[in-house]
Chains A and B, each alone.
Chain A
Amino acid sequence: MIRRLLKSVREYKKPSILSPVLVSCEVVMEVLMPLLMSKLIDNGIEKSDMNYVWVMGTLLLVCMFISMAFGALSGREAAKASAGFAKNLRHDMFHNLQTFSFSNIDKFKTSSIITRLTTDVTNVQNAYQMVIRIAVRAPIMLIFAMCASFYVNAKVALILLGIAPVLLLGLIIVFRYAHPIFVRMFKKFDLMNNVIQENVRGIRVVKSFVREDHEIEKFTDVNNSIRNDAVKAERAINFNAPLMMLSVYSAMLLISWIGAKLVVNDEMTTGQLTSMFSYTMQILMSLMMVSMIIVMIVISKTSAERISELLDEKADITNPENPVKEVKDGSIDFDHVYFSYSKKKEKSCLLDFDLHIKSGETIGIIGGTGSGKSSFVQLIPRLYDVTDGDIKVGGVNVKDYDLDTIRDNVAMVLQKNVLFSGTIKENLRWGNPEATDEEMIQACKIAQADSFISAFPDGYDTYIEQGGSNVSGGQKQRLCIARALLKKPKILILDDSTSAVDTATDAQIQKGFAEFIPGTTKLIIAQRISSVENADRIIVIDNGRINAVGTHEELLKDNEIYKEVYESQKKGGDQ
């Protein structure tokens, strides 16, 4: 998994390596300093040799500046490396996301994709920076300081060598105990956020059912359990600081007792004794750092896993070799097509679809919620792949087309329409980036959108808010139709795209289709009979099967379902 992520380091390898190298130099300098210091005290101050003090002092200052420079440089490289790494991760994820088919998208929830691209990347970025700076720094510091302390005085250094593992062990035990509690706590935080989010979103439901107390109870439960877990986890973690203090103090006392004897016996100088205290701090602090890094890495582990999941997801619909780059005409052939969203066949949502549509035909599609209408049309531009059977467009199997070619030639207005923030023009250009103003106006006229757009003060330059919240449902649908028309497709599919448009306008849109794009094959899914009754043929879909195909009159005569739908809509009109 980590190797997977590290692939995204790419051009930031140099700073990623440079940073720990520079940090190592910084550490060497830092470890040298107490050594020089002890010399300065012993040979300079103690012997009242001011010259020696100057020489050593200057040397020390040089060391410091080198250390400062290396430290700063390393910080700079680390910043470059981690920000760059995050950039590449986001880039790779987003680019991979763009290759996803509908079934890939269905697999991840949109909210989870967004979290992966945002919060998770930030977590990994922070951990990465931490690792290349401190994860290298701490062990190196540990080793060098240990070596230096042995160089100064092996006997005293043994004390440190004895205490360090005890501290490390203590830290590890604390961490091992606290980690699962933290994991549990993070899950509970998710739970709490969910309770809040549902409450805020459903506040009208809560208030109208007078369920405030019930909601408070729900919240109190999760809130208390977070508190209890947090207390448990922190209880363990808070042993770290006293443990550290205990180690430092014990080391100091032991060193001073043994050190004093050594000094008195002339085996050590007072300067060296002072330097030993510095090394004690350096060694124990770096141990503390190591434990902190482990925590960081573990926290970001979940994020890293989620990122690599998205990176590893392979698009299940890809371009064929030697793809066909041209769609001859708008004919569509379904040969015994079966389709299911899951790989299991028994849960098929399309069963044995066998259907042949001529280029330029207008086909109406009627069927209840969940009958399989949307699944049926989504197979045509190869948004999903069939489970069994073949689909041909213009006489060629859809699997043999270049993906962009087939999708550019099959325009589809989805049931869940989305407009993007930007002007109306910018939204229309989704259909065709090179569309001229005239073309846009023409498309909007067919889609019956020109009249309301012109009524806006800014006309075609009106800014659409995110999600299209500042236009009505019917206006949104018509803009989406116009956007699809601009592609000048061979096949146009409307998936329940005029539900919010009134019948009169709907009829005009149909008329426009017949008049301006007669050669385009049109598939129209609708709830309203009036939207499809003028189609060349109407397909009635029921429970994933084609129930009947025929004209309005034919179906009205001998199809029960169609009759029932017709009656349910007509009934109101008669009363």
Chain B
Amino acid sequence: MPPPRGARPMNREDFKKNPISKGLVKKLMSYTTGKYKALLGIVILCIIVASVTSVLGNMFIKNLIDDYIVPILKTKTETGAADFSGLLKWIRMVAILFGFGVIANLVQGQVMLVISNNVLRNIRGDMFKHMQTLPISYFDTHSHGDVMSHYTNDVDTLRQMISQSFPQMISSGITIVATLAAMIYTSWHLTIVVLLGTFAMIFLMGRIGGKSATFFMKQQASLGDLNGYIEEMVNGQKVVKVFTYEDRAKSTFDKKNEELCDNATKANIFANILMPIMGNIGNVLYVLVAFIGGFLAIECGLSEVITIGVIGSFLQLTKSFIMPVSQVSQQMNSIIMAMAGADRIFKLLDEKPEEDNGYVTLVHCKKEGDTLTEVPEEEALSFKRAHGGKESDGSTSYVWAWKHPHKDGTLTYAEVKGDVRLFDVDFSYDGKKQVLYDISLYAKPGQKIAFVGATGAGKTTITNLINRFYDIADGKIRYDDININKIKKNDLRHSLGIVLQDTNLFTGSVMENIRYGNLLATDEECIEAAKLANAHDFISKLPQGYDTVLTSNGAELSQGQRQLIAIARAAVADPPVMILDEATSSIDTRTEAIVQRGMDALMENRTVFVIAHRLSTVQNSKAIMVLENGHIIERGDHQSLIAEKGKYYQLYTGAFELE
């Protein structure tokens, strides 16, 4: 069964297995109370005022009848004249009180929404910022759907809780306590009746709620099942057509659809009948209060204690007591769900970021003779622009350099050459299954090194170690004779251009996508890079040329065209070392020949690591490494490997299959 889309909302069962930790509440509180203490104070104050007024509002009828109408009636029968001045005064007072209530409610709402939206924004922002620091392995082990659902489902549950449940719980709590006090004050006899009824109600609600929860879980499971099926069929719709599989797809779909409908009906029945039952239990209590109240007043001679006013206002109190009780129990569910969501959010925030102890940084330097002086990037760029893209005018040149601070406080600069060496490198993704064994190789500045081998042989893994997407288990990698662990990760990656097998373009214009390689590049430089990658021709033919907006990973373009943009993007970054991971695999051979010329220009004077399964693209490499199961089994240039008549020879002659 395919997993349901997005995260499944947590239910009571999950919750029992994974209760709310104290730390979680603390962390969540720090988001809300930390920055917004004053605002939160206002909110709580307002909630108290509003709840107290609403409780007083419920006492209103009793006061009206007992304290005013009845005495007025009495004076009227006694004196024949009714005096309403007392009543008017009282109504005025209550009106002011109610006014406070309304204002408190208004203020609370307006302030709370600022808090809740700020908190949510901060949480989303922190998640995203933190996500950027996470190692690649995090993204390998978490599905995109799961990551996405932190921002959507999980944050949504928090929104529910912060903006609704939290204020509601406070006000319900206050209302319950205040109403209870008012009830006891009005009549303790009737209070007992109401309390008993309330317990019965809570019990019943738990029963029905539990039933409903199990069916909701079933509904969720079958929904996930159906959605998974839909996703698979819709993605393969063209294959369905070609194989005239429509009828079979329909019948499987219908079966799953029927099952979902069944479970959804059951789940909703229980949820739906809850409301009328709850409402009417409230009403039953209401009648019971009338019965018992009437009985006590009339039959037991308690009419002094239990007046009509008492019964009247008690009826109202009953309602206002039951309402918050049922609200609290309804909020419980959303609080549990929000806690589960918060738990997942904080798990993301607690993920360890990429470790980076590097201190060697990449800087622009002006080179005069043999001396290097650090200069700001703008200066190097403007020099380059002034000299028609060249970095040198004979005597002075601008180069990348490693800035190396030493323990004794001195600084040295070394020009970036692009010399990469691996010494006895071992690696494993999970610490158990080793994927690379004893890899040693060197790439001198300007050399092209190729990796050849089947899927899973470890080709991509090696390049991922060079740019430190993963850290090696044993051995060392030196870059211009500096251990790469000493180089700051960002600077290391800056110096390595990369074109990946799966191109990823971003929503935005073609120009913006190329500029992704170097945010400081001018339009001209981007176009220059596109020309180098042979992408200029097709881009010019697009409806809006370089301003054509790409959406959903450049779905408007062919795979080959996307790849060309990715190459242009790497070209504009102009790094000393390039990694091309199957960069031309989806371009047809004729176009590839054209791209290859651009790539050759791109590769000139650069150290390049190439991974390709078309051997034609790697033949002109300085050295070819044949990998098998994490070992380099053969190495050498094309001629010597052919002469060796080993694995490479077999691959080349087609006796073995790559992939």
Contacts and interface: CB of A to CB of B under 8 A. Distances in A.
Whether A associates with B in a native complex is yes
What 7 pairs across the A-B complex have the smallest Cβ distances? Answer: A71-B276, A75-B272, A572-B616, A202-B504, A79-B268, A238-B109, A503-B654
Interface in B231-259: 231-232, 234-250, 253-254, 257-258
Interface stretch (B88-96, B477-485, B522-530): B88-96
B238 A200 contact: no
B230 A118 contact: yes
B25 interface: no
A116 to B, nearest CB: 10
Interface in A104-139: 105, 109-111, 113-114, 117-118, 125, 129, 133
Interface string A406-432: 011001101011101100000000110
10 contacts: A57-B291, A86-B261, A197-B144, A198-B506, A220-B125, A249-B57, A270-B308, A277-B61, A430-B239, A502-B659
A231 interface: yes
A252 B504 CA distance: 63
Given A45-B294, A193-B151, A249-B101, 14 more contacts: A57-B291, A60-B290, A75-B275, A98-B246, A98-B249, A100-B237, A114-B234, A118-B5, A205-B504, A223-B128, A235-B113, A504-B653, A568-B589, A572-B616
B545 interface: no
Contacts of A412: 242
Interface string B174-189: 0000000000000000
A1 interface: no
Contacts of B230: 94, 114, 117-118
B392 interface: no
Contact of A48 (B87, B261, B297): B297
Contacts of A277: 61, 316
B516 interface: yes
B136 A260 contact: no
B132 A212 contact: yes
Contact of B493 (A48, A91, A208): A208
Nearest to B97: A249
Given A196-B148, A260-B69, A45 B311 contact: yes
Contacts of A573: 616
B544 interface: no
A517 B200 CA distance: 77
B277 interface: yes
A254 to B, nearest CB: 9
A4 interface: no
Interface in A218-256: 219-220, 223-224, 226-227, 230-231, 234-235, 238-239, 241-242, 245-246, 249, 252-253, 256
Contact of A79 (B114, B272, B493, B620): B272
How many of chain A's residues touch chain B, expressed as a range? 35 or more
Contact of B87 (A189, A216, A257): A257
B79 interface: no
Contacts of B276: 26, 67-68, 70-72, 74-75
A575 B624 CA distance: 14
B65 A210 contact: no
A505 interface: yes
B519 A241 contact: no
Contacts of A64: 280, 283-284, 287
A110 B620 contact: no
Contact of A203 (B136, B264, B315): B136
Of A118, A242, A257, A472, which is in contact with the most chain B CB atoms at under 10 Å from its CB?
A242
B124 interface: yes
A561 B593 CA distance: 13
Interface stretch (B29-37, B368-376, B494-502): B494-502
A45 B293 contact: yes
Nearest to A530: B654
A445 interface: no
B560 interface: yes
A78 B114 CA distance: 37
B206 interface: no
B434 interface: no
Contacts of A65: 280
B260 interface: yes
B638 interface: yes
B616 A569 contact: yes
A481 interface: no
B117 A234 contact: yes
Secondary structure at the B interface, as helix, strand, loop or mixed, is helix
B250 A94 contact: yes
B517 interface: yes
A270 B500 contact: no
Contacts of B559: 369
B129 A216 contact: yes
B471 interface: no
Nearest to A212: B132
B106 A239 contact: yes
Given A234-B113, A571-B616, A257 B236 contact: no
A324 interface: no
B157 interface: no
Interface stretch (A33-41, A356-364, A434-442, A548-556): A33-41
Nearest to B573: A209
A160 interface: no
Interface string A244-279: 011001001100110011011100001001100100
Nearest to B111: A238
A102 interface: yes
A461 B120 CA distance: 48
Nearest to B237: A105
B558 interface: yes
B18 interface: no
A105 B234 CA distance: 9
B367 to A, nearest CB: 24
A472 B659 contact: yes
Given A207-B469, A257-B91, A418 B60 contact: no
Contacts of B516: 205, 209, 211, 214
Nearest to A487: B243
A500 interface: yes
B72 interface: yes
A11 to B, nearest CB: 11
Contacts of B117: 227, 230-231, 234
A293 interface: no
Contact of A369 (B87, B236, B587): B587
A329 to B, nearest CB: 20
A242 B109 contact: yes
Interface string B603-638: 000000000010111011000000000000000001
B261 A87 contact: yes
Contacts of A75: 268-269, 271-276
Nearest to A411: B242
Interface in A255-313: 256-257, 260-261, 263-265, 270, 273-274, 277
A466 interface: yes
A333 to B, nearest CB: 21
B601 interface: no
Nearest to B262: A83
A502 B272 contact: no
B540 interface: no
Contact of B253 (A94, A129, A234): A94
A99 B249 CA distance: 12
Contacts of A564: 590, 593
A95 interface: yes
Contacts of B101: 245, 249
Contacts of A220: 125, 128
Interface in B100-130: 101-103, 105-106, 109-110, 112-114, 117-118, 120-121, 124-125, 128-129
B183 to A, nearest CB: 17
Contact of B619 (A84, A528, A572): A572
Given A420-B232, A501-B657, A264 B76 contact: yes
